[in-house]
Structure 1
């Protein structure tokens, strides 16, 4: 009996621990919402609506929503939300759209006052965050500095405002040869899913030691370096001194593993963000190997394999296909390569996966 009681107590303890870790199970009233807001967002007088609305959230729980505004800023209305999450247990948390609405308010005022500065920037809301983002996309390496300076000016404007607003600043390269999603316009996801996307939030501790523009520029240049060296494109627009710095400092370069287990490391060739081998780097590997008949350039080339077949790869080899979805992206095109002029469809990325590389060369590749 004692043994049974002992096991029962352990079970109750474990169940209670899971319950505690899963979050608070109680709902929140208006007073508790106001206290949370003043402790976590800004300690200002607050007006909260007397009535609330309910709607289902992504977890299947219910969002209980109150409208609110700062007492001295009634023109900016935001939501205070008692969010019910349904996972192992039901739990409740408080979230707010304060930063989103303040971001809209400040960005509209800034654009009216400095329209040229905000040109090329867009305001969005990341799917993984409750704070808004200001994003910029560049079409050439030389545009990075200008985008960063524009974001710095907007951040300086925010610093002068009476009420705080958290912002995520994001920058990405257009990647015109390699990014083929149908919904690739200036949406939030269009930035996040690009290989070159970087971001910095304006409450990051690193900003105590450095400026927003300098950090964004440094990270963007490094990200562009990763992309350019991984795909072997746009290298002519990338300064030699930064390319040298990148290849000397980065530890994720490419290693080819021969069938006899000997290894060749290429310090100036890199795999993509997903650790795949791009068309461009495949060209460089074949050319440097010396045993293949290779013609063309990194962006479009052909070679003769050991079995005598003629293969061709190009970033322009894109084929229409039935619309498909991948990570919420819509694709109606895929990349392909040719074998003796016959098209062989690949994926939505211009890369040589490990199995295809082994089929074509008998070798494998990995990160160094």
Structure 2
């Protein structure tokens, strides 16, 4: 799989831009602030319907524009598919596969498989649990797009259940009256249904990912530590019954606090190097290597599924020493397509080769090298 062409209209800094990409390595070079990351962010959005930089869609649309459009031509098994996304801040986005509109934007998920590594990924190791849950769920959906619906259903039910708990909490605190919780059992059952399915998917993913993580960290760090990960759940087993039991046990506390306290939305991933946890013990270099290994493990896992994803390295080589640069170039050199952004071309090892592009304000030009 590779992206043959990317077009943006009113996305971030671009009023209109188009770039023809090549199989193999594509190196996008330009000073900071000219829009290199905007290009790969757009591709990441097509793959996951989310940005790796912001939590909502509005910043993706160019200032002053009402909507933004991302188009990309994807080649897989010698067939080309055009995917188009229209981003409408505050409203449902619209999408097309080929020339046909789809009912929901999430119906395009799976058309483009992509793994993106950026400096922000250090938050996977050092940040909040939400970052690690998102990493898991995005990868789960790329492997099995049906989980986009499962996650959406779970989040919808969670929102309704929290609203009910919050209303009851405020009634008790402000009006000194007992809130109406007569429908809480109904929401418990819905939450348990979707939550158990999401948990089962996550746990199967963690088991499949673990050997790839160990291998990737070993390659990046030259054998300096054994990397592993563990799923930290709020229920003992990934079953509907276990989730219902946990909700029943937590009900008193939930009513007192006005929020749902158990379920996949409260879970976390624990990372380790040898016998020590990464968080709090790993050095900056070890944390950076671990974050990179997480993305490379995701890439290898998707690759093992039979459809090789596109790999994006956004401003990564500048953060690595010479040895790690060369090792990373060697690890990704045989990928079907790699997109690399950098401010200085010399940061990219010559062994990576590939096609080079100059990124300037509002335009992207192919370099003949």
Query: What's the TM-score bracket when you normalise by the shorter of the two chains?
Result: under 0.3
- Greater per-residue helix proportion: 2
TM-score, normalised relative to structure 1: 0.22
Larger Rg: 1
**Higher-RCO chain (CA-CA 8 Å, sequence separation at least 6):** 2
**TM-score (norm. length: structure 2):** 0.22
